[in-house]
Amino acid sequence: MKHITIMNVPFLNTDHHSFVYLLNKRIQQKEKTFVVTANPEVVMKAQEDLHFMQQLQQATYIVADGIGIVKAAKILKQPLPERVTGYDTMIDLLKLAEKNHYRIFLLGAQEETLQRAITNIQNQFPNIEIVGCKDGYFNLESNDITDHIVQLQPDITFVALGCPRQENWIANNLSKFNHGLLMGVGGSFDVIAG
């Protein structure tokens, strides 16, 4: 079974390694990809907010970011192999980005956190190509920020605005991107910043 549906949210039936492999292939093929890593709060939010549910359904892939989702799938007798977290996926994509010269854009977090995260990423992946960044405290309706990012043609845009802001922002701006992977990563920049 390709998807496991939990409360109307279709989760991709995948393990972490296969998922990263799939994303890498799509980046290389210049396919546009919107990834949501959803935990139980995301699923619950989608029950209360139809607009948010519709935005989630625009995602190319929704993966189970949380043991609660994996447990729910087991109870429904449609098991998912394991958690696929935003943070782990981001780290593996950064490794691939360094190797394959992918263009990276980082959007979100406080300016100071963002800069510390970039320093740590550059220390760990010295040949990585970060083509731009922007802190997450701006008018999320602003077209200027989106136009700026689109113009840089990133292969991967990591969006760390917290949920549901990051999913709202990606869903609202996705049509402007010609290619690339866009993924909400929650508090991952804070974790990387240390």
Contact footprint for ligand UDP (CB under 6 A)? 108-110, 113, 136-137, 160-163, 165, 186-187, 189-190
CB of 164 to ligand UDP, least distance (A): 8
Closest CB to ligand UDP among 24 and 184? 184
Contact 102, 156 (CB under 8 A): yes
Closest CB to ligand UDP among 27 and 160? 160
CB of 107 to ligand UDP, least distance (A): 8
Angle 117-122-126 from CA coordinates, rounded to 5°:
165
CB of 168 to ligand UDP, least distance (A): 11
Residue 26 and residue 104: Cα distance in Å, rounded? 15
CB of 8 to ligand UDP, least distance (A): 21
Closest CB to ligand UDP among 27 and 90? 90
Closest CB to ligand UDP among 81 and 162? 162
Give the residue nearest to ligand UDP (CB).
Answer: 136
